[in-house]
């Protein structure tokens, strides 16, 4: 008998990989924008806390974490993928909290980080750790 949650993990594996590849692609496109024309980060849109950290830091963190999570899911390393998904949940939640507390005016940015980043990463972590259990 297989470990709990393996069938669920295998069922959703393509969607999880696609999600993290797209999240990494967003950071790659943001990195391209920074490299050709400076950072589009302004304190008015992102808040003072997010603005105080260089754009390259955000790019490297998101790109590397999403690439590692994608690789772990592709290889079937459920616990590693789950751990990376927890870290990504914390990363997106931290970004959201920093933007809100720093006075960000970009509501789409805050909603996108929370609803496109943190919540799906949490769900992926739960799937990787074996929830919901297979019947």
Segment 72-97 mean pLDDT? 96
Total domains in the fold of the chain = 1
Domain assignment present for residue 135? The answer is no
Whether 3 has a pLDDT exceeding 90, the answer reads no
Whether 47 has a pLDDT exceeding 90, the answer reads no
- Domain holding 27, by residue range, is 6-128
Segment 65-76 mean pLDDT? 97
Segment 86-115 mean pLDDT? 90
Domain assignment present for residue 83? The answer is yes
pLDDT of 48-69, one tens digit each?
Answer: 898 899 989 999 999 999 999 9
So what's the pLDDT on residue 135? Answer: 63
Q: Are 45 and 106 in contact (CB under 8 A)?
A: yes
Domain assignment present for residue 88? The answer is yes
| CA gap 135, 123 in Å, rounded | 19
């Amino acid at each position: 008998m297989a470990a709990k949650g393996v069938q669920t993990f295998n069922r959703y594996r393509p969607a999880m990989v696609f999600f993290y590849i797209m999240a990494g692609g967003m950071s790659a496109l943001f990195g391209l924008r920074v490299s050709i024309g400076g950072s589009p980060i302004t304190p008015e849109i992102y808040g003072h806390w997010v603005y105080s950290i260089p754009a390259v830091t955000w790019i490297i963190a998101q790109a590397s974490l999403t690439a590692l999570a994608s690789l772990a899911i592709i290889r079937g390393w459920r616990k590693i993928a789950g751990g990376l998904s927890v870290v990504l949940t914390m990363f997106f939640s931290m970004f959201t909290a920093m933007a809100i507390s720093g006075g960000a005016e970009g509501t789409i940015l805050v909603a996108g980080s929370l609803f496109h980043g943190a919540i799906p990463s949490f769900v992926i972590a739960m799937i990787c750790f074996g929830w919901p259990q297979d019947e």
